[in-house]
Amino acid sequence: MAKLTEEQRQQRAAARAQREALAAEERDRRDAERREMWRCEGMYLSWEEYRSGEPCRGCGEPMQDGLGDWPGLMYLSEQEKREYDAAEEGFRARHADCKGGRWSISGSRVTHCSFCCPPPPMGPNQIKKLRELVASWPSAEERKKDLDAWKLTLTCHHVVERTQHREHSYFGSSVVDCPECSARRGVVHSERIGPAYSDEAIRVERDAADRDRLAEELAAAKSKLQRQRKNAAATQRRVEEIEKQLKQGG
């Protein structure tokens, strides 16, 4: 077989990248459609429904069976091995064509399909911890200092720019929104450009945000003043009417 030229290798690599990006785009579309179906058909469980023991609305299996996690495979007893194998066989039979991942809940041996089964709801403690985590984040202005800009070539051949934290050595999303197509597109090629914001750009943006905030406050204050003036004028007219009535009565 003749050795490939450098140009042929590049062409093959580009074709492979395009195929992989199109596949990621299709997975993203499929998952988005499934999430929308879950939402429209009311398949997500509320926290109260989950706590009451309602089964998964995707597969009908319990969300939590209370049997505890499976031990490591090497520690399974003979009976547990049979139960584990039967559970695996049942899962593969139910989800043979799903081509998705799987998830389970800590303390439970039931396995759910990421494509068929809506995820469990977040509990109050999880929500509280998430809020605390978000509250501890640096300000948006501080976070911008650690962002790099990336140039992304999409399956539609449009080029867009996105940002992500500087610690990443590659762009983390395989599918992004394309503003020109108004659709989600797979990323064929990504290239790091460099810092997304300079100190001067951050200062200019901060000043612009301050001006916008002050403009909104000024508009609100003027609107309030106008209402107060109308109320004062109405009150003044009422005072004059009362005084007139008093004079006529005298």
**Residues 34 and 94 both lie in one domain:** yes
- Note whether residue 78 is domain-resident: yes
What integer pLDDT is reported at residue 201 of this predicted model? 67
Residues 72 and 78 sit within 8 Å (Cβ to Cβ)? no
Give the per-residue pLDDT at 243: 85
One domain, residues 30 and 87:
yes
Q: For 116-134, what is the mean pLDDT? A: 93
Residues 15 and 42 in one domain: yes
Q: Sorting pLDDT into bands at 50, 70 and 90, what band is 207?
A: confident
Answer with the one of 91, 123, 155 that is the final residue of a domain: 123
In a domain, 129, yes or no: no
Judged against a pLDDT cut of 60, whether residue 250 lies above it is answered with no
Q: Supply the pLDDT for residue 210.
A: 79
Tell me what the mean pLDDT of segment 101-111 comes to. Answer: 92
Residues 207 and 192 in one domain: no
With a cut of 80, say whether residue 246 has pLDDT above it: yes
Residue 68 and residue 10 share a domain: yes
The model's pLDDT over 21-33, given as tens digits with 9 standing for 90+, comes to 999 999 999 999 9
- Domain membership of residue 131 (yes or no) is no
Is residue 30 located within the same domain as residue 115?
yes
**Owning domain of residue 166:** 141-198
The answer on 105 and 19 residing in a single domain is yes
Residue 206 and residue 188 share a domain: no
In a domain, 130, yes or no: no
- Say if 166 falls within a structural domain: yes
Q: In this structure, is residue 135 part of a structural domain?
A: no
Count of domains for the chain: 3
Range of lowest pLDDT (74-78, 95-99, 123-127): 95-99
Q: Residue 84: pLDDT band by 50, 70, 90 thresholds? A: very high
**What confidence tier does 161 reach under pLDDT thresholds 50, 70, 90?**
very high
Spell out a b/e string for 199-211, using b for 16 or more CB atoms within 10 Å of the CB, else e.
Answer: eeebeeeeeeeee
- Name which of 126-130, 208-212, 246-250 the model is least confident about: 246-250
Residue 202: the pLDDT is 64
Of 1-10, 177-186, 208-217, which has the strongest mean pLDDT? 177-186
Residues 104 and 157 in one domain: no
Residue 233 has pLDDT above 70, yes or no: yes
Give yes or no for residue 208 having a pLDDT over 90.
Answer: no
Check whether residue 149 and residue 207 sit in a common domain.
Answer: no
Whether pLDDT at 8 is above 80: yes
Question: Which pLDDT does position 1 carry in this prediction?
Answer: 63
In a domain, 84, yes or no: yes
- Is the residue at 224 inside a domain? yes
* Stated pTM of the model: 0.69
Say whether both 14 and 78 belong to one domain: yes
Average pLDDT, the chain: 91
Which of 181, 198, 215 is where one domain is finished? 198
Whether residue 245 is found in the same domain as residue 219: yes
Q: What string of DSSP letters covers the chain?
A: -PPPPHHHHHHHHHHHHHHHHHHHHHHHHHHHHHHHHHHHTT-SPPHHHHHTTPPPTTT-S-S---S-PPPPGGG--HHHHHHHHHHHHHHHHHTTTT---EE--TT----EETTTSPPPPPPHHHHHHHHHHHHTSPPHHHHHTTEEEEEEEETTS-EEEEEEETT-SS---SEEEETTTTEEEEEEEEEEEEES--HHHHHHHHHHHHHHHHHHHHHHHHHHHHHHHHHHHHHHHHHHHHHHHHHHH-
